[in-house]
Amino acid sequence: IGLMRDQELPELNRQANELSDAIRSHFSANWLEETGEPRFAAEYSQRGSGQAVRNAFFSPQNRSESQKKVKWERVLTNRAEFNRLYQASVSITAENNSAFEQRLARLEQEKLPEYLEQIKQAQKLAYEQFQSDFLGKLKESIDAVTENIRGLNRTLKDRSWGNERFQFVVEPDPNYRRFYDMIMDDLLMQGYSITYAAFREKHGETIDELFRQILAVDDDVSGDKRSELDRNIDAYCNYRTYLRFDLHTIDENNEVQRLSRTLRKKSGGETQTPYYIAMLAAFVQLYRIGDRNRSCLQLIIFDEAFSKMDGERIRESIRLLRRIGFQCLISAPPDKIADIAPLVDRNICVLKDRHRSFLAYFDKQDIARIEGELDSAEADD
């Protein structure tokens, strides 16, 4: 008993204190009080002895140690990769992460605000550049179509169909007039951007409204909002939205009528003529006729052409086609041959006799020869 009291019990107390100190050095007091000690007491009560508790947790402890080793190797690998990617020299074997946490804190407190400000400025500049380029493209398209209309009107100036002449008109659409005025403002032509104070003062509200219509403020928009946005983009990005087109009819007394107002009141022949003129205008723009940098086949194919026109209107229409420079394939009823044939390069006449078809080719040079032969035959008779 004396041996136990004097030697063994003090040694056991010393070992117990060392274990207690080791435990407290590895775990926080809060965790020990709230989790560790209550769990140990429950396990001890269930298993009956400390050795039984130790034996029960031996295998799980080994698994945890193995997992800890694997994860530590992963930490070392990630730290080494960090040093390689960012040319850093942080110790990869340090037991704690304080060096990396210090770098993170410095980035969050110093560098990140700086980067965010740079991103904000770059975004602002990109947005302003987009706006300027967007308005510039619209203006370029409006200028181009206006010049095309002028060219067409020069071509139409000395052409008449019966007692009528025609002239295209392009003007700002009243419903979009303020957008048109902003796009065509001389300040943009003088090299000022949309951020220029005078331009913003003059068109600020219009600029903001235009870009609200075509730019999504929030990426998470509903299906209906997305459909509305798509419709707005189709409308506001199309230069035609800001313009109104019409065709003026000018009679021998120089009285002018808008085709848009008189179209339903005219006869078939009277409406077909402006229809062809408008169609030619579309092809002039499509083929960019007059653009020396663009060379292409300027082909138009007409089916049942000029069916409602009289001879004079037909002849003037064909002369206009040739003057503009179109290459045409014209399919027309036989009764139109007399008006068409003298003005085209090659005629192909298709004849049908019951179940058989015949083709007759002749050029405009052949017409004079055939007419001469017919005149000679009549004289002989």
- pLDDT tens digits, one per residue of 81-110: 999 998 888 899 998 889 989 888 888 888
Q: What is the pLDDT of residue 361?
A: 84
User: 56-68 pLDDT, tens per residue?
Assistant: 888 888 888 899 9
Q: Say how far apart CA 22 and CA 302 lie, in whole Å.
A: 99
Mean pLDDT of the chain: 83
Tokens standing for 29? 């007091």
- What is the C-alpha to C-alpha distance for residues 340 and 334, in angstroms, rounded to an integer? 10
Residue 176 gets which letter from DSSP?
Answer: G
Structure tokens at 194: 């949309």
What CA–CA distance (Å, rounded) separates 136 from 104? Answer: 44
Q: Tell which residue, 301, 310, 226, has the closest CA to residue 267.
A: 310
Give 237's contacts (C-beta < 8 A, 6+ positions apart).
134, 138, 214
User: Which tens digits make up the pLDDT trace of 135-144?
Assistant: 889 999 999 8
Distances (CA, A) of 62 to 50, 66, 70, 117, 276: 18, 6, 13, 50, 91
Q: What is the pLDDT of residue 169?
A: 92
- Closest to 88 in 3D by CA, of 66, 103, 106: 103
Q: pLDDT at residue 302 above 80?
A: yes
pLDDT digits (tens, 9 = 90+) for 210-263: 888 887 655 566 777 888 888 999 999 999 999 999 988 888 888 888 888 776
- Model confidence over 327-377: pLDDT tens digits? 999 998 888 888 898 899 898 988 888 888 888 888 877 877 766 665 665
Better-predicted residue by pLDDT, 190 or 83: 83
The encoded tokens of residue 219 equal 């990426």
- CA 39/CA 368 separation, integer angstroms: 119
Among 283, 329, 282, 330, which residue's Cα sits nearest to residue 304? 330
Q: Where are the beta strands (DSSP E) in 148-224?
A: 165-172
- Check whether 160 has a pLDDT greater than 60: yes
> Cα(37)–Cα(55) distance, rounded to whole angstroms?
17
pLDDT band at 75 (very low <50, low <70, confident <90, very high): very high
Q: Whose CA is closest to 137, among 238, 275, 25? A: 238
**Structure-token match 């420079």, residue found:** 325
In terms of DSSP bridges, do strands 327-330 and 299-302 run parallel, antiparallel, or are they unpaired?
parallel
pLDDT in tens, 310-321: 888 888 888 888
